[in-house]
Amino acid sequence: MPAPRQGSPLPAAGTARLRAAVVAVVSGLAALALVLTGCTPFLSPGSGPTPGTDTSATAGAPPELEKFYQQKVEWSSCENNLECTKVTVPVDYSKPGGDTIQLAVARLKGKNASSNLLVNPGGPGVSAIDLVRDAGTTMFSDKLRSAYNLVGWDPRGVKRSAPVTCFDGPQEDARRQQNPDYSTDAGLEQAFAEQLKLIDACKANTGPILAHTDTISSAKDMDVIRAVAMGQSKLNYAGFSYGTLLGSTYAGLFPDRVGRFALDGALDPAMDSTQVTIGQAKGFEDALHAYVRSCISKSGCPMGGNENDAVTQIQALLQSVKEQPMPTTQGRVLPGTDFVNGFILPLYNNTNWPVLTQALTSAFRGDGTAMLRLADLAADRDSNGTYSSNSTYAFMAYNCLDYNTASDTTSMRNEADQLRQASPTFGDFFAFGGVNCRDWPAKPVRTPSPAHYTGGSTILVVGTTGDPATPYPWAQSLRSELGNASLLTWNGEGHTAYGRGSSCIDGAVDGFLVDGKVPKDGMRC
């Protein structure tokens, strides 16, 4: 989810949870109360038409994949007025006669819909079904929801679609309580040993999909969904955060199948894992300073003095928690890693900054309960101790297959030095990503390279100047790499732009997706 584990790069997402979150007061403490709820089982499939069915939708499929492109799907009523189905795809596209999995797909029908819009909220590891179910009627405008059926799917390895499965709830709680010292060789070896226990559990509990939970395979899944579940010769798509990497990958693989594509909160596919991690570390350091400037201008801020004084106070607090985990009222302590996990979650959306202020107020008094609640929210942990998704494990699987992350001690320590320079507050917690992937059972399958798109449909890229998770220069790079694209900019704070209160942004994106009106390249809101 949208917070770093020490020893892992940061998920370029969290969009779904932040979009579905509202500020509420729980037991006198600020928390993010989610609309997101647990999944109810899919009903037995019935029959129903696929709006927007196009007889050319399945044309051009490679002969070895025809059975997947020719499959018939049936829709049934399911949770929250959705319709659900499942789409069968190969585990390994290079071996289409081998194992298969089923992808869970759902749609929210539009009032006057004649077409379908596939959506992805990011991650990797976030459920698009949850996005459609919980935020479909609030995040997306009336104009867009009327014109389109919103279609969401859980990508391979995620939640309802052959999920990567590792630890149970108590085991994951215990993992989060660990506090290894990465500054020593002994601490680093301890971290590798603990990670190997997790990987062994993933191998034992998941199956062959573990070696094929990657972005290229997922983008190929999107094309099967387009053909058989959406019935369209061209794909209309709105991808947020990591969903932009899925979108640009699809555009490179299937340029003639691209319809109206909006990519909001862009990842630059040319960047390697070090560049991504350093960019995000700097982005969250900048977001911290923006938050602090706002906090100290108001009464009730737990930090005093000027901006630099306040940041220094936060750094001292974090250092103390790193050395000695903070007590909570939850029967668990708050180690430094989960302190940062909770801290950066509200930085994704500036409307949630008051939540951070209240959590910090308690933390400065020695009570980590509120910050732990935020960390639990980031990890999809419910109050009863269960985890409502497998997002942590799916995120790990995608990144270990999408990026070749250095895992030797020298390289990781050199990267850690760069991260501390980019982010004096958070850098240590973005470091040592190689621990996650050194012992992963499959090698990376993706080589970072610039997006390559030759299609005739203009792609809309949306960037936010104060985006901490996908910094604005990445949107500029993606727009340049795509060539046939237009860049729309929001001068604002927080992660992504659409559906966050800017009528200028929402109007431009809706005009593009619904009316086909491409915003002028360079337009700012």
241 labelled catalytic: yes
Q: HEC string of 5-21?
A: CCCCCCCCCCHHHHHCE
* Residue 33 β-bridge partners: 22
Tell me, what DSSP letter sits at residue 86?
A: E
CA torsion 313→318→319→322, rounded to 10°? 170
Determine the 3-state secondary structure of 513 from DSSP: helix
- Closest residue by Cα to residue 172 from 203, 187, 204, 194: 194
Residue tagged active-site, from 214, 221, 380, 467 = 467
Find the distance separating the first CA and the last CA of the chain, reported in whole Å: 29
467 labelled catalytic: yes
Q: HEC string of 319-371?
A: HHHHHCCECCCCCCCECHHHHHHHHHHHHHCHHHHHHHHHHHHHHHCCCCHHH
Alpha carbons 156 and 90: distance in angstroms, whole number: 10
Residue showing tokens 């910090």: 360
- Closest residue by Cα to residue 230 from 117, 332, 372, 381: 117
Determine the 3-state secondary structure of 461 from DSSP: strand
CA torsion 378→384→390→392, rounded to 10°? 40
- For 164-230, list the strands marked E by DSSP: none
Residue tagged active-site, from 241, 391, 423, 457 = 241
CB within 8 Å of 168: residues ≥ 6 apart: none
Determine the 3-state secondary structure of 207 from DSSP: coil
- Closest residue by Cα to residue 280 from 98, 423, 137, 72: 423
Number of Cβ within a 10 Å radius of residue 409: 13
Tell me, what DSSP letter sits at residue 158?
A: B
- For 38-191, list the strands marked E by DSSP: 76-77, 83-90, 100-108, 115-120, 148-153
Alpha carbons 8 and 122: distance in angstroms, whole number: 17
Residue tagged active-site, from 362, 495, 506, 510 = 495
Alpha carbons 340 and 213: distance in angstroms, whole number: 27
Q: State the Cα angle at 287 between 283 and 291, rounded to 5°.
A: 175
Q: State the Cα angle at 277 between 478 and 448, rounded to 5°.
A: 45
Burial class (CB in 10 A: 0-12, 13-18, 19+), 397: buried
168 labelled catalytic: no
CB within 8 Å of 161: residues ≥ 6 apart: 101, 102, 103, 104, 153, 154, 155
Looking at the annotation, which residues are catalytic? Answer: 241, 467, 495
